[in-house]
Amino acid sequence: MLTIQTPEAVMFWVLAPVAVLAALGMLLVKKAVHSALLLAWVMITLAIFYIAQDALFLGIVQIVVYTGAVMMLFLFILMLVGVDASDSLTETIPGLRPIAITAAVGFGGLLVSLIGRATLGHGAVGLDSANGAGNVQALAKLLFSTYVWPFEVVSALLITAALGAMVLAHHQRTVARPTQREQAIARFRGDSLGSAAGLPNPGVFARHNAVDVPALLPDGSAAPNSISATLKARGDMLDSAQFELGEVDNTVTEEK
Amino acid sequence: MNPYNYLYVAGLLFTIGAIGVVIRRNAIVVFMCVELMLNAANLTLVTFARINGTLDGQVVAFFTMVVAACEVVVGLAIIVTIYRSRRSASVDDASLLKR
Amino acid sequence: MDFTAPVLNYALLAPILIVLGGALLGVLIEAFAPRASRHNSQLFVTVASLVIALSALLRVRKQVSVSAAMGSITFDGAGVLFQASILVIAILSVFLIADQENFTALPAAVPGSDEERHSLQTDMRVTEVYPLTLFAVAGMLLFPLSSDLITLFVALEMLSLPLYLMAGLSRRRRLLSQEAALKYFLLGAFSSAFFLFGVAYLYGYSGSITFSGIQASIVGGSGNDVFLLLGIAFISVGLLFKVGAVPFHAWSPDVYQGAPTAITGFMAAATKVAAFGAILRIFYVAFANAEWQWRPALILISIVTMVFGSVVAISQRDVKRMLAYSSIAHAGFLLAGVIALSKAGLEASIFYLFAYGIATVGAFGIVTLVRDSAGEVTDLNRWSGLGKRSPVIASAFAFFLLAFAGIPLTSGFIGKFSIFSAAYESGSTAVLIAGVLSSAIAAFFYIRVIVLMFFKDPAEDGTSVLIPSGLTKTTIAITSVITLVLGVYPAPLINFIASSAFFIR
Amino acid sequence: MNALTTMMLLPLIGSILVAVIPSDQVLRIKQAALGTTLLVAISGILAWVKFDSSNTALQFVESAKWIPSFGINYAVGVDGLAIVLILMSVLLAPIVVLAGWNESEGGRWSPKVFYILILVLETMMIGVFAATDVFLFYVFFEAMLIPVYFLIGGFGTGERAAAAVKFLLYSLFGGLLMLASIIGLYVISGANGGHTFDITRLSELHMHMSSMTQNLLFLGFFIAFAIKAPLWPLHTWLPDAAAASTPGTSVLLLGVLDKVGTFGMIRFCLALFPDASKTFTPLIIVLAVISIIYGAFLAIGARDIKRLIAYTSISHFGFITLGIFAMTSQGMSGATLYMFNHGFSTAALFLVAGWMQSRRGSSTIADFGGLQRVTPVMAWTFFIAGMSSLALPGLSSFVSEFLVLVGTYTRYPVAAVIATFGIVLAALYILIPVQKALHGPTTPGNENLSDLNLREKIAIAPVIAIIVALGFYPSPLLNVINPASAHVLEVQGFTDPVPSESAGK
Amino acid sequence: MVTSTSLVYLIALPLFGAAILLLAGRRSDKWGHLLATALSAGSFGVGLYQLSQMLSRPTAERAITQKLFSWIAVGTFKVDAGLLLDQLSICFVLLITGVGTLIHIYSISYMSHDENRRRFFAYLNLFIAAMLLLVLGNSYLNLYVGWEGVGLASYLLIGFWNQKPAYATASKKAFVMNRVGDMGLSFAIMISFATLGTVSFAGVQAASHTASKAALTAIGIMLLVAATGKSAQFPLQAWLGDAMAGPTPVSALIHAATMVTAGVYLIVRSNFIFDAAPTAQLLVVIVGAITLMFGALVGTAKDDIKKALAASTMSQIGYMILGAGLGPAGYAFAIMHLLTHGFFKAGMFLGAGSVMHGMNDQVDMRRYGALRKFMPITFATFGLGYLAIIGVPPFAGFYSKDAIIETAFNAGGVKGILLGSTALLGAAITAFYMTRVMVLTFTSKERWEDDQHPHESPLLMWIPMAILAIGSVTTGFLFTRGHALVHWLTPVVGERAEGGKVLLQPAVVSGLALVAVIIGVAIAVSKYQLGKVDSVAPQNVSVFTRIARKDLMQDSFNEAVFMKPGQALTALLVKGDDKVIDGAVRGIAATALGTGSTLRRTQTGFARSYAAFILIGAIVLIAAIWVVTQ
């Protein structure tokens, strides 16, 4: 028969409210990254609970895999998406907020009430005998005998996940990157030899030498190919008209 | 203390996670709430393993973690894809499909 | 430490293993084969592994075992039927998937970018869909055979994850497709959490995670039923989500619409078979003795589902959404087979699943063909006059719709008859009446589409029917023939099902 | 080979024949269709000749297992009632083909489709009367909606699509209610000696049903038949459908299909649920009487000639229903004879109305005038058909209508008296269009209408001949009908009321 | 009973004629009328042959039957296509075929300018056949076939010139009102079968001895309804005046001599019912009395010669019905009046036709006058008929009508006095209006237009008129000589009860009648022969005249009581069918669609709300658990 020692009870009464509060906090904080950290805290708490409940292996895995790997993945993605992004917590879908609150109270209340009502017909057994040869060993025995099939199958799941991530994220090169030789040939066999000498540098002959300012050609017009295609694509190219020659402002004398 | 107390905690965490899915708009946070729910389930499993005196619950919890990891990979990949297309990770913005 | 090495009956696991092997081979092809040959080799590997799996399955169809995989799966007649249905549907779906017009060339490319344009021009393909499909099929094959909760959960995820991914791979209207993937994934994960929570409570109730252990606890349990019922309820949420029962249905119209049509067809047909297979097994095997507790709720869900699906389908303007609601209604009808909780109910469900799955693949196959310059046309108004433009395709679609509506001489009718009679035989008069009434409502929108296609003049908006590729043609032809044959002379299949539709514990 | 099966196969073979003839050889197609229907008609007459009217058992019986696990057989056989209706159907078919020689050409699709649909429909028409397996009956009952649906929607005029949909939805609704009842029967049969659909075995089942069950199952069948037959207030589809159909389709729709309703009442409602039939008889009598009067009034108020004919049919179906539920030998035989006669008089009316419409381009009564001067033969044909419709003695309908009235009076005098008022209204609803369309001065637009050509005369002549001949000498039919209707009543436990003042009292 | 094989030829000949003429179409235009006439005459010949055969048999065996085939046999409802020729039917057979043949002959000339003459003859033959079937049928159902058959022929003939809308309407009106009467016959047959178990004359007669009075009364009343329809008796009299739209020979044959008297035949034929059902019988006399006055009053105001004659017909049939309602005492007189009336009224109609023939189809008597000079033969034949109808001895009407008046007086009690006086008053009025017709047409001053050239009709027309005139003169005398007709009919209608209390002796009645006639004639002569007659009907007349001109408001009554409400009901039902019944159907469809559209809104597109559904679903489930585990 299982008896719960006082230290565990103390630990529970300390950590359980903290975990619940952290979870609540996760709902209520604006920044996703804070949510992630609070979730990590909940998970660590749970890991402690696991260990306290004779699930040593799970506790470790919880910390290493879940908190360590999974949560880091979350954080990584959060970084990618923008770590500063903060959610507005005002509800935009009409009627959802009251429903959510009612649901919270109802679901939680009913669940708690039902758990309180439940009986199993036997007391808590405890894992002392099951873990007799050690938690990890016992688990291993189960995993590699009784549950070997799902264990094998899970590997397929992992491959799926990897494949899936690759499908969605992997940029296959759609055109082969031109070799230097090809580039050279292209330059010289082009319509004109204008580009044979290489592209102009940005900012040349201009008042600005920033990378987003196109070079001015000898006739005073802007040379768009002097700046990075990426900047062009993003529309970050400045208007070259204001940099035409002859518009030098003489009123401002240079400081000496 | 009664080990059932863990069940209450798990129930609360599950509830909080479920509510989070409903009220949070950031897809990543929503997904984190799902993770919270899975963790709550795991806590329940571990607690029941202790109550029942068998390790099957722990095995299930272990599988859950593995599966959850896979789910996270796929899920985050989808979220990133959406983000790249829309420049937004809000689940509310993805509401073209309706009625 | 007495460790006995596990024994796996590879003959019985062969179908799953072959499909998984095919998937792995596909991954390898993806990694090593030159791009130009990938598509054909992937297609070959996929079809071949499915066909081989099917033949491997048929070789062992008479065998029965509860210990094929250390008790994780139960290999029995019903399982064979589910697996065979899934494999047949999968083969037919793969023919549709082979049509490159379905999928985006480069999923990673941002919609509207140069990269995407370029990838389309260079005729690239996401050949990864083949191994993903095989993984999903493997999950589906495992799902209805699972006889413990872990395997069930793993199988659930295994069939879901590839589908989440594939839902986002549409070639046209990619934002919608990605949105579908996101919704499917988030809601799927949400329901998985419920499922897992249910697993936890069932485990808590019985101390076992095997179906037979749960059943034994229900029979001989000494505590009260709270944990059992919580477990059943939460597991049902997860399972009913997969089949699209109200109120867990909301994802399906959006996902059906957004996903590439071939995938929608595959998903609608095969997932339904797999999920109902699992539902039937768990309810028939594990929960049967608690029928008084869950049956009323399931009856209610069944009725609400069929009525809701039928009623909302009436007002749909998009063919894929309409088919989604139709599939919701059919989920309601299929739940009648679960409620029946009898051998007749099981047989009827299997027949219905197969018939419905086949017709669904065929119907979505036709949807892939109706196009304009910007891709598939799913707006129903633009389907008007289709019967004039391509009578054969329109007739085939009409035929599938009639099958969905349950008109005699189509497979749908036999299915509807058998499933309702099974439900009524088990005393569910309400299900029978609701089923009949919602069938009447459902007829409304099926017929509306037929009217549009045949009795309205075509709009001059460039909608046309693509000349079907050989594979698509094959799928449509085979599904039509099966739908007809099962309507006219279903006896062989029914006999076959009757002879092998049983669950063992 | 079994006579009935042969008759059902012939049109099917014919339809395949038509299908393989190239679409542009329209004449060849028509000849093939006409030849087939004539062949069927001949075999129908032969069967009728071979039919042994002294034997009340089913004849030309053939039974083969169809879906054994549900106890479903392909079982056919006819009694005196069925053979008469089959005879009517197969006689009408060639007439419809010949009379509507050109009506197949204005449709949405090629004439080929028209004739395929007609021939397929003919198979089902025979099947629905011949089936002695309830399931088989239901299959034909529902499946025959589809060809009719396409015939209305594809080849009709005016609001054809809407009318076709209305027809189909109404019928499907009824059909589904019937399906519910059939499932009920199936389940009850399963609980009492094994699943079966054999009409003979099912007719013994009522002893095992509670009166509530029996009433509900009865209603399922009856509502389906009441929609089909159309009985007030389930009739509103008929005028729309009739007005939108081609004349040939209308003939088959009102002449044959609707008879399935009244035939079904005898064959199924009475045979399967004798107690419920008795319970509901008062209600049905009331509905029948309302139909008679109501249909007549609406016919009087009709502005469109085809709607008018449809409303007269509602009135006539009221008579038929009245005769059936009067439960007297006169009523029963009269009703059956009425079904036959109504087939031909309505056929004549519709065909002539169709010719009028095709010549004038309108079916509004007011658009015609003075046709008797311009097109005397057509006018006469219409007049004779009209006279038959108003049951002029000496024409066929009189015999049947009077039998119904006499038979009803002996048991339900009040109903018979009210129904008799229908004959005055009948005079109005026939003579009003006669006056407006045929009499009076020839109105503008009608001066140059052409009279019937030879083909049309050949088509209509047998109809008129049958109308006149059966008016004077109905015995050939009555001799076949009488033993069968006596048998029905005997099974029901009804004997004719003894004359209240007879000398033998 | 003696069976025969030749009765069917009576019907078959004209029926054959009708079929040939109708099917052959225009091909038979040249000879159709001759064939029809010949066949009608042939039928008359068969009739004479049958009469001779009948006379050669002893009284008890005079009735003969012929069973053609079993017509309808279902359960105990067995009706043969059977014919019965007895002393009553032979009278009708000869009247129908005889007068019919004369009218055929007349029509050859009368219709010679009509391009559809062949069709006219076809209809006439059809009528003859149907009428013969009516009187020869051996059961009520066979009679019913003929009954409606003559209705059809009447409809076709009234509407012969149906290109005139008014005529088409008249034919429809006749048919529909007849159908109302037919309904009565249907009821009678139904009641008869339900209560007596048979519908044949012989069967009903046999059963009538044991049947209850209630059943017989019901049958009798229904037969009376049938008779009122066919014989244009009150209250179903309104169609007869309009029926004059048909060609005049039709009016003579159908609407004077034969068809309209079918009601009388029916009542006399059903004597065994009425004799056992005094209430029904009383109703018969009431109807007869009312109608005879009704017709007479209408007759006084009509300016259209045919309508005046039609009113007179109605009135005279009123006499017959009255006679038939008086039981065994009156049956024979009713039949006698029917036969004599057949002659003189047919003759007068033909005369009217002859006048119209000579006057460019003018029918308004106010446009006639002094035609005596121009059409002497017509004047003579018409005049003989006139003398017969007003009952001047020794012309036919005198015998037959006086007999009815006398029987009416002797019916006993107040009833007798009332009926007798009514009949007597009717006789006076008859004399008045017939004299008016006579005077206005033949003897008063000319009032026709200048462009009219009255002339005598050709031979083929006046010969039938002459023959009928001879009949008008002689038949009355012949029938009453030695009570010939009464004795002849006794086996059919039963012995008249002798020795009852006699109120007035025959001579007294004759005297009274003569006085009445003289008064009527005198008034008419003074008013129209001696007074001035306007060629246009004066409008400033008394309200009574106006009402009489409007047929005693019969059409207004029918319109207000039946037509208008009927039309309103039809309109209401048409609207109701669309709005209420079909509206309900459409409403269900719309409701489904609306519900669908509403529920569709739940699909907001927000994944979070979908999650909320799932959550709510789960809450409902665990709430249910919470409840059940309480």
The structure tokens listed for E211 are 């049947």
- CB contact (8 A) between residue A160 and residue C5: no
Judge whether C228 lies within some domain. Answer: yes
Mutate to test the interface with A, among B28, B45, B64 (most CBs of A within 10 A): B28
Q: CA dihedral in degrees (E195, E200, E202, E204; nearest 10)?
A: 20
Mean pLDDT within D85-109: 84
Cα dihedral C387, C388, C389, C393 in deg (nearest 10):
20
Nearest partner of D489 among D411, D420, D402, D401, judged by Cα: D411
Q: For residues E513 and C194, which has the higher predicted lDDT (pLDDT)?
A: C194
Q: Closest approach of chain D CAs to the CA of E208, in angstroms?
A: 9
Cβ distance of C161 and B74 shorter than 8 Å: yes
Could C168 and B81 be called an inter-chain contact, meaning their C-beta atoms sit closer than 8 Å? yes
D113 pLDDT higher than 60: yes
Query: pLDDT-derived band of residue E499, with 50, 70 and 90 as boundaries?
Result: low
| Contact with chain C for residue D70, Cβ under 8 A | yes
- Kindly indicate the confidence band of residue E63, based on its pLDDT and cuts at 50, 70 and 90: confident
Mean pLDDT of C393-401: 90
Note the pLDDT tens digit of each residue in A154-163: 999 999 999 9
Residues of A in contact with B48 (CB under 8 A): none
What strands lie across the sheet with E64-74, from one edge to the other?
Answer: E2-3, E64-74, E77-85
Q: Do B46 and A139 touch (CB under 8 A)?
A: no
Q: Choose among E556, E350, E572: nearest CA to E469.
A: E350
Inter-chain touch E616–A99, beta carbons under 8 Å: yes
**Do C and B make contact, counting contact as 3+ CB pairs within 8 angstroms?**
yes
Q: What is the pLDDT of residues E408-432, one digit of tens each?
A: 888 777 888 888 888 888 888 888 8
C276 vs D409: CA distance, rounded Å: 59
User: Cα–Cα distance between E351 and E378 in angstroms, integer?
Assistant: 6
Cβ contacts of A81 on chain B, cutoff 8 Å = 28, 79-80, 83, 89
pLDDT in tens, C209-251: 899 888 888 888 777 888 888 999 999 999 999 999 988 998 9
CB contact under 8 A, E195 and D416: no
Model confidence at E198, in pLDDT bands (50, 70, 90)? Answer: confident
| Whole-structure pTM value | 0.88
What are E581-594's pLDDT values in tens digits? Answer: 888 888 888 888 88
Q: Any chain E CB within 8 A of the CB of D439?
A: yes
Q: Is residue C159 part of a domain?
A: yes
Is residue C338 scored above 60 in pLDDT?
yes
Q: Would the CB atoms of B52 and A20 count as touching at under 8 Å?
A: no
Average pLDDT over residues C260-285: 92
Q: How many CB atoms lie within 10 A of CB A126?
A: 19
| Cβ-nearest to C258 among B21, B75, B97 | B97
Q: Does residue C5 fall inside a structural domain?
A: no
DSSP string, A104-161: HHHHHHHHHHHHHH---SS----STTTTTT-HHHHHHHIIIIITHHHHHHHHHHHHHH
ipTM: 0.88
Nearest to D61 by CA among D37, D69, D52, D258: D52
In a domain, C4, yes or no: no
> For D420-475, how does the pLDDT look when each residue is reduced to its tens digit (9 = 90+)?
888 888 888 888 888 888 888 888 877 788 888 888 888 888 889 988 888 888 88
Q: For residues E27 and E43, give the distance between their C-alpha atoms in angstroms, rounded to a whole number.
A: 24
In angstroms, what separates the C-alpha of C500 from chain B's closest C-alpha?
Answer: 32
Q: Domain limits at C336?
A: 10-500
Q: Which chains touch D (3 or more CB pairs under 8 A)?
A: C, E
Say if CB C364 and CB C263 are below 8 A apart: no
Confidence of residue C269 (pLDDT cuts 50, 70, 90): very high
Query: Quick check: C102 pLDDT over 80?
Result: no
CB atoms near residue D86 (< 10 Å):
28
Question: What's residue D504's pLDDT?
Answer: 45
Mean pLDDT of chain E: 85
One-letter-per-residue 3-state SS of E177-226: HHHHHHHHHHHHHHHHHHHHCCCEHHHHHHHHCCCCHHHHHHHHHHHHHH
- Mean residue pLDDT of chain D comes to 86
- pLDDT for the residue numbered D505: 40
d(CA D26, CA D24): 5
Task: Count structural domains, chain C.
Answer: 1
Which A residues, 87 through 146, put their C-beta within 8 Å of a C-beta on chain B? 87-89, 91-93, 96-97, 99-100, 103-104, 107-108, 111-112, 115-116, 120, 124-127, 129-131, 135, 138-139, 142-143
Of C48-62, C363-377, C426-440, the poorest mean pLDDT is in: C363-377
Residue to test with chain B: of C72, C132, C185, C317, most B Cβ within 10 A: C185
Query: Which chains lie within 8 Å of chain C at 3 or more CB pairs, if any?
Result: A, B, D, E
DSSP three-state, residue E536: coil
Question: What pLDDT is stored for residue D359 in this prediction?
Answer: 83
pLDDT band, residue B25 (cuts 50/70/90): confident
State the pLDDT at residue D1: 65
Q: Spell out which residues of chain C touch residue E599, defining contact as CB-CB under 8 Å.
A: 308, 311-312
Per-residue pLDDT tens over the stretch E441-482: 888 788 877 677 788 888 888 888 888 888 888 888 888 887
Q: Which of residues 185-244 of E touch C (CB under 8 A)?
A: none
Chain E closest CA to C83's CA: distance in Å? 29
Q: Is the pLDDT of residue B99 over 80?
A: no
Collapsed DSSP state (helix, strand, coil) of residue D67:
strand
Confidence class for position C332, pLDDT limits 50, 70, 90:
very high
Low-confidence ranges of chain A (pLDDT < 50): 254-256
pLDDT at A125: 80
Residue A237: per-residue pLDDT? 67
Rounded to whole angstroms, the Cα distance separating C299 from C336 reads 7
pLDDT given for residue D158 in this prediction: 78
Residue pair E393/E340 in contact by the 8 Å Cβ criterion: no
Task: Summarize the confidence of residues E317-331 as an average pLDDT.
Answer: 86
| Neighbouring subunits of E (3+ Cβ pairs under 8 A) | A, B, C, D
Q: What is the mean pLDDT of residues E511-525?
A: 87
pLDDT in tens, D183-202: 888 888 888 888 888 888 88
User: Cβ of C8 and A163 within 8 Å?
Assistant: no
Nearest-angstrom CA–CA distance, C102 and B86? 22
* pLDDT at residue A256, as a whole number: 46
Confidence of residue C327 (pLDDT cuts 50, 70, 90): very high
Mean pLDDT of chain A: 79
Question: Can you give the pLDDT at residue E378?
Answer: 85
pLDDT digits (tens, 9 = 90+) for E539-565: 777 777 788 777 777 778 888 888 888
Q: Report d(CA A157, CA E88) in Å as an integer.
A: 107
Task: Give the pLDDT confidence score for residue C461 in this predicted structure.
Answer: 67
Cross-chain CB nearest to C197 (options B41, B81, B91): B41
Residues C248-266, mean pLDDT to the nearest whole number: 90
- How high is the pLDDT of residue B40? 93
